[in-house]
Amino acid sequence: MREPVIKGEPNEHDSPDSRKKGEEKRQADPVEEKLRPQKLSEVIGQKSVAQRLAIALAAAAKRNEPLPHILFDGPPGLGKTTFATVLHNELGVELNITSGPALDKKMDVMPFLTNASEGSILFIDEIHRLPKTVEEFIYPVMEDFRVDVVLGEGMSARTINLPLKRFTIIGATTRSGMLSSPLRDRFHMHEHLEFYENDELARIVVINAGKLRTTISEEAAWELARRSRGTPRLANARLRWVRDFATARADGQITLPLAREALEMQEVDEQGMDRQDRRYLETLIKVFRGGPTGAEALSATMNVAVDTLTDEVEPYLLRKHYIVRTPRGRRATVEAYRHLGFPEPLPEPELNLLDPQRRLFD
């Protein structure tokens, strides 16, 4: 029988201090949980990732072993938590969920390790934010399923090895580049999640409209898909907003004109970009003359956390070629100027034309 999902600290005696840190964790939204696929067959898109996970599941089941440690990376909302949930359901094992920022000290992670049951999954979100000491503490866990605990101090200190049950760590990160290589190397599978295609998002929208008991026309589902920045979490959020709009303004059925009107009211444009995306491009173009400029300068000018810009805003702008990253910083492309309706920048002057030596012979 399937064990329950345990979120946060697995023991009840967590200190007020750790609860405070827990506030940083993403709060589970009950509607979002309802929309989450539960089985591998319900997962839309990410085909090659799903195929590799199916192999890993089958091999683990045949050998009666836990799954290998898996690292998922990719921008927020693309399905990292969903895959962890699906693996836990497919295996019928316990799932514990925590995150890098909540594991401040070795003792914060200890209950997760000692309470882990055979074959269970420990999901660590934002694993790139794990402090170095905690990271090093879990190396022997990932390698040999043991922890080294130091007892006593000074001359009388001794290390004891505590054996653990064999379980799986699934890490999720939006910044795989920030992971140290010893940690990265201890994951046996690395899976990168890509932005979704519009037809995949349209399928997700139709399925989730059904789960929310709402009817949506095919054209409206496509419109939502086109305007969701390749991200299922945003497709869900747009769907929920459009559903509210359709209920308030009409009979609750989502049609194309209603979907368009609702998204316009939310200031989501034709390309799916929201106010924050446009503000980013406007700042880059107007304040920094199109760049190149660093993320910190943009963050300070916009008064938005640098992590929000690099993790949430930039990946899609890069993918749509609205910005490029150069060694000297971010730069707006001609597409960005066009999208905002700004006059296109003049091409860089050809330096050698100004070369007096050359002009001499013209």
Residues that bind ligand ADP (CB under 6 A): 32, 35-37, 43-46, 76-82, 172, 204, 232-233, 236
Torsion, CA 21, CA 24, CA 27, CA 32, rounded to 10: -150
For ligand ADP, the closer CB: 32 or 136: 32
Contacts of 15 (CB under 8 A, 6+ apart): none
Catalytic residue among 81, 85, 214, 231: 81
The question of whether 81 is a catalytic residue gets the answer yes
Q: Please name the amino acid found at residue 278.
A: R
Using DSSP's 3-state secondary structure scheme, residue 83 falls into helix
Among 259, 273, 225, 314, smallest CA distance to 45 is for 225
Catalytic residue among 186, 227, 229, 233: 233
Among 41, 53, 115, smallest CA distance to 80 is for 53
Give least dist CB 41 to ligand ADP, A: 11
Distance of CA 134 to the CA centre of its chain: 22
Give least dist CB 53 to ligand ADP, A: 11
Report the half-sphere exposure of 21 (CA within 13 A, side-chain side).
Answer: 18
Catalytic residue among 21, 36, 85, 125: 125
Residue 294 tokens, joined: 């660093």
Give least dist CB 248 to ligand ADP, A: 23
Contacts of 355 (CB under 8 A, 6+ apart): none
Contacts of 294 (CB under 8 A, 6+ apart): 329, 330
Give least dist CB 343 to ligand ADP, A: 38
Catalytic residue among 36, 80, 238, 330: 80
Helix/strand/coil (H/E/C) assignment for every residue in 294-320:
CHHHHHHHHCCCHHHHHHHHHHHHHHC
The question of whether 233 is a catalytic residue gets the answer yes
Catalytic residue among 82, 174, 214, 283: 174
- Sign of torsion over alpha carbons 350, 355, 361, 362: positive
The question of whether 277 is a catalytic residue gets the answer no
* Helix (H) / strand (E) containing 72: strand 70-73
Give least dist CB 210 to ligand ADP, A: 13
Distance CA 99, CA 232 (A): 21
For ligand ADP, the closer CB: 36 or 88: 36
Give least dist CB 50 to ligand ADP, A: 8
For ligand ADP, the closer CB: 261 or 311: 311
Q: Which residue is nearest to ligand ADP (CB)?
A: 79
For ligand ADP, the closer CB: 45 or 171: 45
For ligand ADP, the closer CB: 147 or 268: 268
Distances (CA, A) of 188 to 259, 273, 332: 43, 36, 38
Distance CA 269, CA 275 (A): 9
Give least dist CB 203 to ligand ADP, A: 8
- Tokens 């209920």 sit on residue: 247
For ligand ADP, the closer CB: 10 or 232: 232
DSSP 215: -
For ligand ADP, the closer CB: 78 or 122: 78
Distances (CA, A) of 232 to 29, 88, 218, 275, 290: 15, 20, 17, 19, 30
**Residues designated catalytic:** 80-81, 125, 174, 233
